[in-house]
């Protein structure tokens, strides 16, 4: 949703600088996976605040309900049963949703000016009124987050409650979390909080505990405390080292100016060739030869 009160850091399909005189605080949501009990209160709060109601689906044999994110479910709890010799059976529950990348792949891929906005506070938001429904954001996202609505063909995802944050409130999921697993504040504060928790977890024997704030996408504004930070993929396929795919970088980077220069060179090359070399006309000689041949026929 558009909120003019928020300052803009990046705007999709826009080649000029966004307004950046004002500096706002970078925010972050910290999800402490080790404190999560999988109650889904966050999912409910998200639906309620954003006026979303997903279709009632079917059970896929896990607690994941719905089984995937949709245009109506912007966050989904994912339950992974992981066995290791050291810890035995572990239930690793992760609240999945948009990571609000510092360098968002969706925004890079989006061809519609202003359909994706990254605010100065770090929130990446879709503006559906500018969305053309091409799905390039899905192609660009390293976390498989955006979902295209089957009804209106617009892309939807977690807004990090940009409307609430703009007026000084925390996101709805943070508000309701009963175990304090989700925190919200300045990115700096959240990193400090994470550090304290990681130290605690290490003391309790999770020697690989750590913060998930992947550098490959410039860091994220949704971060996880993972008790197995060495293997993020244990948590229902959280990417170990997410980056914007090289194919996407090529497509949306170097290819654009190169193609434009090539097309312009071809068009201008033609014009100047015509002006400097002149047209390729039939020679008088050949015309005379053909005349003679026709005369001879008669």
Partner 1 sequence: MIRDPHDLQRYNASERANHWVVGICFILLALSGLALFHPALFPLTGLFGGGVWTRILHPFVGVVMMLFFVVMFFRFKHLNQMGESDWEWVKRAKEMVDGDDHNMPEMGKYNGGQKLLFWFLGLAMLVLFVSGIIIWRAYFSHYFPIGVIRIGAVLHAAFAAVMIVAIIVHVYAAIWVRGTIRAMLYGTVTRAWAKQHHRAWYRQVTGK
Binding range to partner 1, per CB under 8 A, among 38-46, 77-85, 183-191, 271-279: 271-279
Cβ distance to partner 1 smaller for residue 53 or 277? 277
Task: Give the number of residues in contact with partner 1, rule: CB under 8 A.
Answer: 48
Among 57, 111, 205, 218, binds partner 1 (CB under 8 A): 111
Closest CA relative to residue 208, chosen from 190, 189, 232, 188:
232
Cβ distance to partner 1 smaller for residue 105 or 214? 105
* d(C-alpha 183, C-alpha 194), whole Å: 10
Query: Tokens for 204?
Result: 């309790």
Among 266, 275, 295, 298, binds partner 1 (CB under 8 A): 266
* d(C-alpha 59, C-alpha 10), whole Å: 40
Closest CA relative to residue 243, chosen from 73, 97, 102, 116:
102
Query: Tokens for 157?
Result: 């995802």
Check binding of 239 to partner 1 (CB under 8 A).
no
H/E element, 275: helix 255-277
Query: Which residues are CB-neighbours of 45 under 8 A, at least 6 positions away?
Result: 172, 173, 175, 176
Among 59, 281, 295, 298, binds partner 1 (CB under 8 A): 281
Check binding of 230 to partner 1 (CB under 8 A).
no
Among 136, 156, 224, 235, binds partner 1 (CB under 8 A): 136
Does 101 count as an annotated binding residue?
yes
> What SS3 state is found at 276?
helix
Q: Residue written as tokens 């989700």?
A: 182
Does 59 count as an annotated binding residue?
no
- DSSP, res 61: S
Check binding of 275 to partner 1 (CB under 8 A).
no
Interface residues with partner 1 (CB under 8 A)?
13-15, 109, 111-113, 130, 132-136, 138-139, 144, 148, 153, 245, 247-248, 250-251, 255-256, 258-260, 262-263, 266-267, 270, 273-274, 277-283, 286-287, 289-290, 293-294
């Amino acid at each position: 949703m558009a909120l003019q009160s928020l300052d803009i850091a990046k705007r999709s399909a826009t080649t000029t600088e966004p307004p950046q005189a004002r500096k706002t605080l970078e925010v972050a949501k910290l999800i402490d996976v080790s404190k999560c009990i999988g109650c889904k209160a966050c999912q409910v709060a998200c639906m309620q605040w954003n006026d979303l109601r997903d279709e009632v689906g079917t059970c896929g044999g896990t607690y994941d309900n719905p089984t995937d994110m949709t245009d109506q479910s912007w966050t989904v709890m994912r339950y992974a049963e992981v066995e290791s010799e050291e810890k035995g059976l572990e239930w690793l529950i992760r609240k999945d949703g948009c990571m609000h990348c510092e360098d968002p792949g969706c925004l890079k891929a989006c061809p519609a000016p202003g359909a994706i906005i990254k605010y100065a506070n770090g929130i990446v938001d879709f503006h559906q009124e500018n969305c053309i429904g091409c799905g390039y954001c899905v192609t660009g996202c390293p976390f498989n987050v955006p979902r295209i609505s089957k009804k209106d063909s617009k892309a939807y995802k977690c807004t990090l409650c940009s409307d609430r944050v703009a007026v000084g409130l925390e996101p709805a999921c943070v508000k309701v979390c009963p175990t304090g697993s989700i925190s919200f504040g300045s990115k700096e504060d959240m990193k400090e909080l994470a550090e304290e928790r990681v130290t605690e977890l290490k003391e309790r024997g999770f020697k690989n505990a750590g913060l998930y704030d992947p550098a490959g996408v410039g860091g994220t504004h949704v971060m996880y405390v993972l008790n197995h930070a060495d293997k993020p993929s244990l948590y229902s396929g959280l990417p170990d080292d997410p980056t914007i795919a090289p194919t996407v970088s090529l497509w949306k980077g170097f290819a654009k100016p190169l193609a434009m220069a090539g097309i312009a060179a071809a068009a201008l090359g033609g014009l100047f060739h015509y002006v400097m070399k002149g047209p390729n006309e039939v020679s008088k000689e050949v015309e005379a030869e053909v005349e003679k041949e026709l005369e001879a026929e008669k």
